[in-house]
Amino acid sequence: MKTKTNQRLLKLAIVSIVALGISGFRVHTFASPATSDMAVTANIAMSCSISTTDISFGAYDAVGAHAATPLMATGGVSSTCTTGASGNIKISQGLNPHAGSNDNIPIRRMVAAGDAASFLDYEVFSNSGRSVVWENGTGVGYTGTGSAVPLTVYGSVAAAQTSAVSGSYSDTVTVSINY
């Protein structure tokens, strides 16, 4: 009898374990989910940054090397604009323009250090042939690529400026991008 009781308890334990196991794996049912769409948007504003590399002409000799040939040098403008942003890069007349200078036809001059009455004429161009003056009226057209775009600024000091006194000359121009 003891064996039958043990078997019966064993069977009851197995059935209980199976019943508990099945109830643990029952499929839960949920109500239908509620949904809603969410819009995701962004706006990209046109934006630009600009940096420059100075033009350093070095030594100018109005009666020797540059009596008949202008002194030439280059500088640079690098602009990074939002892809597709278009505008114009302009270069001002400088701090010492000639009296007849204007934004569309600049006549740029460097002034001698310590002698505000002595000037050295120069010009900046947008092409290597130095035939297209880089001015402050319409400037040079530009379209942004999202990456830095380097542009060369071609400078030239006019030949045979024999009235200029010896010494150091300088000017400052402002480079801007209008977009």
Model confidence pLDDT, tens digit, residues 92-127: 999 999 999 999 999 999 999 999 999 999 999 999
Asked whether residue 26 is assigned to any structural domain, the reply reads no
Q: Cα–Cα distance between 158 and 37 in angstroms, integer? A: 68
Asked whether residue 37 is assigned to any structural domain, the reply reads no
Q: Are 25 and 17 in contact (CB under 8 A)?
A: no
pLDDT band at 11 (very low <50, low <70, confident <90, very high): confident
Q: Cα–Cα distance between 101 and 163 in angstroms, integer? A: 20
Q: Cα–Cα distance between 109 and 121 in angstroms, integer? A: 4
Asked whether residue 27 is assigned to any structural domain, the reply reads no
Asked whether residue 23 is assigned to any structural domain, the reply reads no
Predicted TM-score of the model (pTM): 0.78
* Higher local confidence (pLDDT), 1 or 178: 178
Asked whether residue 11 is assigned to any structural domain, the reply reads no
Question: Which amino acid is located at 73 in the chain?
Answer: A
Number of structural domains in the chain: 1
* Higher local confidence (pLDDT), 77 or 20: 77
Cβ neighbours around 148 below 10 Å, total: 12
> What is the domain extent for residue 69?
48-178
Asked whether residue 82 is assigned to any structural domain, the reply reads yes
Asked whether residue 91 is assigned to any structural domain, the reply reads yes
What is the average per-residue pLDDT within 23-37? Answer: 76
Which CATH number is 171's domain given? 2.60.40.1090
Asked whether residue 17 is assigned to any structural domain, the reply reads no
